[in-house]
Every structure is written in structure tokens, then in C-alpha cells.
Amino acid sequence: MKTGLLLAFLADLTACGGARAPTSASPQTFADQVQLGQKLYGDHCARCHGANGEGRGEAPAVVGIARGALPLAPPANAKYRKGQFKTVADIAAFVTNNMPPGKGGSLSADQYWAILAFDLKANGIDLDKKLDEALATTLVVPR
């Protein structure tokens, strides 16, 4: 399964987000998360990472695994990311703690997981259940 690399994308997506958005009902399925994540990505991530996750300026691409997006090790010039992304849980921890820059933790847990779900789907990964911490620890980032 190639879900892990997509979550790495999600980690970087929230880097340029804004203030915590109001929370609504918690998404119940992966499809629900993807739908919410699409809106949240547009609101909090697209400005820096591009509308299609292609990256802009200093913000890396989060979509395009085949084109080198989200490698195991951070690029030498990485501003925020310093560790490796081996599992989706690694990505989730980074994103939650560091994104948006200087405002880590400013989104709700449901919002971070939704953005990660959206990014996974954008990278061609579709899950049959809701993305959460337990599932994320089992998803290895594809190489």
C-alpha cells in the first residue's frame, strides 16, 4: 500500500495554514475525511504548496511520489522537516507539531487527519476505513 508517502505530503501541506477553523461533526469514513480535507487543504495549505500539491517556492511538493515528492529523508535545504518519514504516523506527528509554521497544533486532530486523507487520495491511495493514529502506524511510506 502506498498510503505512507501521501501522508508525508499532508505533513507539508499544513505548513502554510491559518488559524484553527471551527470544527464540525467528526468525519466517519475515509471518504468523509477526504471531502473535508479538500476544503481544509485549500484554506490552509494550497497557498504555499500549490493548488495541486506541486509545491511553490520553499514549500515542497506533496503530490507526485513518482516525481520525487516526499522522499524518506528531508532535502538538505528543508526549513522545518529534519527527520525521516517511514510511516504515515511519522508524517502526522510532524504535521501536527510543526504546521502551519510557528502554529503547530492550531488545527483540530480531525482537521489534520482530514488533510492527510485528502493528500493520500491525491497521491492515489484510497483506504477502506477512516484514517487515524492506529492505522497510520501500520502504513509504510512507499519508496
| Residue 74 included in any domain | yes
The model's pTM: 0.80
Q: Tell me, what CATH number does 116's domain have?
A: 1.10.760
| Residue 143 included in any domain | no
Number of domains in the chain: 1
Which pLDDT tens digit goes with each residue over 10-47? 444 434 444 344 445 799 999 999 999 999 999 999 99
| Residue 141 included in any domain | no
Its domain, for residue 96, covers 3-19+27-136
pLDDT of residue 25: 79
Q: Is 129 exposed, middle or buried (0-12, 13-18, 19+ CB in 10 A)?
A: exposed
| Residue 10 included in any domain | yes
For the ranges 1-5, 63-67, 121-125, 139-143, the one whose mean pLDDT is highest = 121-125
CA 34/CA 138 separation, integer angstroms: 19
Q: Is the CB of residue 10 less than 8 Å from the CB of residue 115?
A: yes
